[in-house]
Amino acid sequence: MTRTTLTQRLALLGAGGALAAGGALLPSTALAAPATPQVAAAQTIQEHPAHERPDHEAGTRTVVKTKITISQRTLSDGRVKVVTVKTITKITKDHHGKVVKKSVKTTTTVKIRPAPDDD
């Protein structure tokens, strides 16, 4: 059973808060959309050590970094384009601090929101 530490829980809560802030930013800027394109960004970087695996070499350690970037832009027809980029980097080091393995996974999500109603 995997146990999460208080630090991991707080980091996850912070990442969720950043996503919520980005989502709250979207409606407020969409209602007051200027004629020029607008870009807003929110970043969250969290770093935590993953579980150490005793079945592998003794003393190996894995660190996971997560970075989330949210940007939005008003298109010429009034719609809002929201781009979310999530990058997860896993680095495994031996007991001497030498990097044994490194993997990077990037996920990009693009959403087009309808133009706000100006009633």
- Quick one: pLDDT at residue 25? 56
* Domain map (residue ranges) of the chain: 6-113
Q: Tell me the one-letter amino acid at 59.
A: G
Q: Convert the pLDDT of each residue in 77-117 to its tens digit.
A: 889 999 999 999 999 998 888 999 999 999 999 999 988 77
The model's pTM? 0.51
Q: Which of 30-44, 62-76, 91-105 has the lowest mean pLDDT?
A: 30-44
